[in-house]
Structure 1
Amino acid sequence: MENEVGKSVDNQMDKYIVTIMGKSESQMDIVEKTTKSGKKPWSFVAIGLAVLLLLMTCAAVALVILYASSRGSYYGTNSGKICTTPGCVTAAARIIQNMDPTADPCKDFYQYACGGWLNRHVIPETSSRYSIFDILRDELEIILKGLIEQRDSLPLLEALRMVGDWPVASADWSKTKEPSWSMEENLSIMNSRFNKRVLIDMFVWNDDRDSSRHIIYIDQPSLGMPSRDYYFNGDNYQRVREAYLQFMITIAKMIREDKNMSKDDSFVQEEMAKVMEFETEIANATTPAEERHDVTLLYNKMTLAELQEEFSFNEFNWTFFIQRIMSSVNVQVDPEEEVVVYGMPYLQELKAIISKYSASTIQNYLIWRLVIDRISSLSRRFKDARASYRKALYGTTLEEARWRECVSYVNNNMENAVGAMYVRETFAGESKRMVRDLIEKIREVFVETLDELQWMDKASKEKAREKAMAIKEQIGYPDYILEDQNEKLDLEYANLNFSEHNYFENILENLRAGAQKSLKKLRERVDQDIWIIGAAVVNAFYSPNRNQIVFPAGILQPPFFSKHQPQALNFGGIGMVIGHEITHGFDDNGRNFDKDGNMLDWWSNFSALHFKEQSLCMVHQYGNYTWELAGGQNVSGISTLGENIADNGGVRQAYKAYLKWLEQEGKEPKLPGLNLSHKQLFFLNFAQVWCGSYRPEYASQSIKTDVHSPLKYRVMGSLQNFEAFSEVFHCKKGTAMHPAGKCRVW
Structure 2
Amino acid sequence: MLKFIVRFYVSVGLLAMKWPSCISRTASYSVDIQANNAHPSHSSSPDKDAAACQIPDYKEIAAKFLSRIDTSVNPCNDFYQFSCGKWIKAQEDEASDALKLNRTRAILTKLLKGDVKPAGPVFEAEKKMKDLYKQCINIVEIEKLRGTPIIKILNDFNGGWPMITPGWDASKFNVFDVLIENLFFGNDCFFSVKIAWDVEQPNINRVILDTMTPFVATELLLDDDVAGILAQSYFNGITNATKLLLRDNKQLQSVTKLWPDISDIAEMELFLGKETLTAVEKSSDTIYLNKFTLKAFKNHYKFKSAILRNITKYLRAYFAVANRSAAITDDTIVIVPTLRYWNKLDDKLVELENQGAEGRRRMANYIGFKLIFSVLPYLSKDYRDIVEDWSINIEDKCMDVVKINMPLALSTLCVRDIVPKDLKKKIS
- In the alignment, structure 1 residue 354 sits paired with structure 2 residue 353: no
Q: Do the aligned residues in 1 keep the contact of 2:305 with 2:347 (CA within 8 Å)?
A: no
SS in 1 for 2:207: strand
1:272 paired residue number: 262
TM-superposed deviation, 1:282: 0.5
How many positions carry a matched residue from both structures? 309
Going from structure 1 to structure 2, the CA distance change for 1:410 and 1:303 (only over 3 Å counts) comes to: closer
Give the drift of 1:321. Answer: 1.9
- The residue aligned with 1:306 is 296
User: 1:209 Cα deviation (Å)?
Assistant: 4.4
The answer as to 2:149 corresponding to 1:159 is: no
Task: Check the 8 A contact 2:243/2:255 in 1, yes or no.
Answer: yes
The answer as to whether partners of 1:250 and 1:385 remain within 8 angstroms in 2 is: yes
2:320 is the counterpart of 1:327: yes
Q: Counterpart in 1 of 2:373?
A: 372
Look up the equivalent residue of 1:274 and give its one-letter code: D
Residue equivalent to 1:203:
194
Superposed counterparts of 1:593-742, under 5 Å: none
Decide whether the 8 Å contact of 1:229 with 1:237 is kept in 2: no
- Indicate the SS of the match to 2:334: strand
Match of 1:223 in 2: 214
Are the aligned partners of 2:231 and 2:267 in contact in 1 as well (CA < 8 Å)?
Answer: no
Q: Which has the higher contact order (CA 8 A, sep 6+)?
A: 1
CA contact (8 A) 1:215 1:338 kept: yes
CA distance 1:200–1:421, shift in 2 (3 Å):
closer
Contact 2:196/2:206 (8 A) holds in 1? yes
* Cα displacement (A) at 1:425: 6.7
Q: Percent identity?
A: 15
Rate the CA distance shift 1:111–1:224 in 2: closer, same or farther, 3 A: closer
The alpha-carbon distance between structure 1 residues 308 and 428, as it changes in their structure 2 partners (threshold 3 A), is closer
Report the CA distance shift for 1:132/1:412 in structure 2 as closer, same or farther (over 3 A).
Answer: farther
Call closer, same or farther: CA 1:335–1:164 in 2, change over 3 Å.
Answer: farther
List runs of 5+ in structure 1 lacking aligned partners: 1-101, 119-129, 433-475, 481-746
Alpha carbons 2:199, 2:288 under 8 Å: kept? no
Distance 2:400 2:313 in 1: 37
Tell me the residue number matched to 1:185: 177
**Aligned amino acid, residue 239 of structure 2:** I
- Residues 96-115 of structure 1 mapped to structure 2, 5 A cutoff: 104-109=80-85, 112=88
CA distance in 2, matches of 1:138, 1:205: 27
Per-residue deviation, residues 261-306 of structure 1 (Å, max 9, x unmatched)? 1232213333222111111110222243434555445534333333
Q: Is the 8 A contact 2:376 2:383 kept in 1?
A: yes
Q: Distance in 2 between matches of 1:112 and 1:212?
A: 39
Moved more, 249-258 or 281-290: 281-290
SS in 1 for 2:252: coil
Q: Which residue of 1 aligns with 2:126?
A: none
Larger radius of gyration: 2
What residue ranges of structure 2 are gaps of 5+ in the alignment? 1-77, 115-133, 353-358
Q: Normalised by the size of structure 1, how large is the TM-score?
A: 0.37
Q: Which amino acid aligns with 1:197?
A: D
CA distance in 1, matches of 2:195, 2:206: 6
Aligned-residue Cα RMSD (Å) equals 3.7
Normalised by the length of structure 2, the TM-score is: 0.60
Give the aligned residue type for 2:101: R
1:262 matched to which residue of 2? 252
Distance 2:266 2:277 in 1: 19
- Contact conserved, 2:231 with 2:270, CA < 8 A, in 1? no
Instruction: Please identify which structure carries the higher helix content.
Output: 2
| Partner Cα distance (1:282, 1:112) in 2 | 41
2:148 and 2:249 in contact (8 A); partners too? no
Letter of the 1:329 partner, please give it.
A
C-alpha separation in 2, matches of 1:421 and 1:334: 36
1:205: how far off?
A: 3.4
Q: Tell whether 2:239 aligns with 1:249.
A: yes
Alignment of 1:250-649 (within 5 A): 250-291=240-281, 294-296=284-286, 298-311=288-301, 312-316=303-307, 317-330=310-323, 331-332=325-326, 333-357=328-352, 358-386=359-387, 389-390=388-389, 396=391, 400=393, 402-407=394-399, 409-410=401-402, 414-415=406-407, 418-419=410-411, 479-480=427-428
State the Cα deviation string for residues 495-525 of structure 1 (Å, max 9, x = none).
Answer: xxxxxxxxxxxxxxxxxxxxxxxxxxxxxxx
Contact 1:200 1:218 in 2 (8 A): yes
Contact persistence 2:147–2:244 (CA under 8 A):
no
**Cα deviation digits, residues 593-622 of structure 1 (max 9, x gap):** xxxxxxxxxxxxxxxxxxxxxxxxxxxxxx
Q: Select between 145-154 and 412-421 the one with higher mean Cα deviation.
A: 412-421
Letter in 1 for 2:371: L
SS in structure 2 opposite 1:108?
helix
Residue 170 of structure 1: how far off its partner (Å): 1.9
1:218–1:341 Cα contact (<8 Å) kept? yes
1:286–1:346 CA contact under 8 A, matched in 2: yes
**Shift, 1:414, TM fit:** 4.7
Structure 1 CA distance, aligned partners of 2:375 and 2:163? 18
AA matched with 1:261: Q
Equivalent residues of 1:287, 1:345 under 8 A apart? no
Q: Which residue of 1 aligns with 2:60?
A: none
**Aligned mates of 1:211, 1:111 — CA distance in 2:** 35
Corresponding position of 2:165: 170
